[in-house]
Amino acid sequence: MTYAKYSASGNDFVILHCFVEKDFTQEAIKLCNRTEGIGADGFVVLLPSKEADFKWKFYNSDGSAAAMCGNATRAVAHYAFNNNLASSKMKFLTDAGIIESEVMNNNIVKTQMTEPKVIKEQFEQEGFIWYLIDTGVPHLVTFVDDLEKYDHELCAKMRYEHNANVNFAKMQNGKIKVRTYERGVEGETLACGTGMVACFLRAQDLNLVKDTALIYPKSNEELTVSKVGEKIYFQGAVKKVFTATIE
C-alpha cells in the first residue's frame, strides 16, 4: 500500500484511498507510531461515496475514531485533488456531516466547518472560566492572560471529566494564540483545527474579535477563521511531506 504523509499547521496525518471499507483501527495504531511506523497524529482513509465526492474514516493515533478534524479536512482535500479524486472544489462525507473544501493557490485550503453547537455556557472549574462547544468534536475553551498557564495534568483531568479536547487561548495584538490538549493523542498537539474554531467562536462571544481573525496554534503557523452569516470557514496552508510504500 502507498501512503501519503501530510502536515497541516503542524498536525500530521497519514492518508490513503481505497475501495474496501473495513475497520482500520490496527492500521492506524501501527502507522501512526512514531518509532516503528510512519508517525502521525491521525490516520485517514478515503472511500467511495454516493452522497459526495468521497467519504472518510478518521482515526486518532491511538486507533480511536473521531467524527471530525479541521486540519485533516484541509490535508485530505489537497490529497484528493492531487490524486484526481475530486476537483478543486469538493464535498466529502464525515461522521460530523458533509464538509466542503476548496484547494486554492500556494497549497492554501479553505474548509467550511460543520455547524457549531454550544454544549455548556460558561462555567468555573479549577480556577478557570470554561466554555464547552462542539465544532465537529467537543472542545473546552478558556481564555487566559498567559499561555504558560496551560497545564497537562489539568487538561487530562478536564478531558476525561467532560469527554472533550481542552484549549487554552490568549488574545495578543488582535490575534488568537492557542494551545490544545487533544483526545486520542492524549497530550498537547501542535495544532487542532476544530479547537482553533472553538476558540474563535468563544472570542466572538466575548466580543474580542469580529467576523475574521488570525489564529496561531503551538506550531505558530498562521490560520484564518471567518464567519460569513451562519457559515464558519477555516483556511491555511498544507504540506505534503512524503509518500511511502509499505508491504
Tell me if 161 is assigned to a ligand binding site: no
Q: Is 208 exposed, middle or buried (0-12, 13-18, 19+ CB in 10 A)?
A: middle
Is 69 a residue of the active site? yes
**Are 132 and 116 within 8 A, CB to CB?**
no
Q: Is 84 annotated as a binding residue?
A: no
Amino acid, single-letter form, for residue 185 = V
Q: Is 32 marked active-site?
A: no
Would strands 239-245 and 138-143 be described as parallel, antiparallel, or unpaired? unpaired
User: Is 202 annotated among the ligand-binding residues?
Assistant: no
Is 60 one of the annotated binding-site residues? Answer: yes
For residues 57 and 66, what is the distance between their CA atoms, to the nearest angstrom?
8
Q: Are 53 and 92 in contact (CB under 8 A)?
A: yes
Residue 220, annotated as binding a ligand:
no
Please tell me whether 115 is known to bind a ligand. no
Is 35 assigned a ligand-binding role in the annotation?
A: no
163 belongs to an annotated ligand binding site: no
Task: Answer whether 9's CB lies under 8 Å from 71's CB.
Answer: yes
What are the start-end ranges of the H helices in 145-210?
Answer: 152-162, 193-205
Alpha-carbon dihedral sign for residues 159, 162, 164, 168: negative
Exactly one of 32, 69, 155, 199 is catalytic; name it: 69
Task: Name the residue with cell 504540506.
Answer: 239
- Grid coordinates given for 168: 487554552
CA distance 247 to 239: 25
The answer to whether 11 is a known ligand-binding residue is yes
Q: Tell me, what DSSP letter sits at residue 107? A: G
Please identify which of the residues 32, 155, 192, 199 carries the catalytic annotation. Answer: 192
Annotated binding site: 11, 60, 70-71, 165, 182-183, 193-194
Annotated binding site for substrate: 11, 60, 70-71, 165, 182-183, 193-194
Which residues are marked as active site?
69, 192
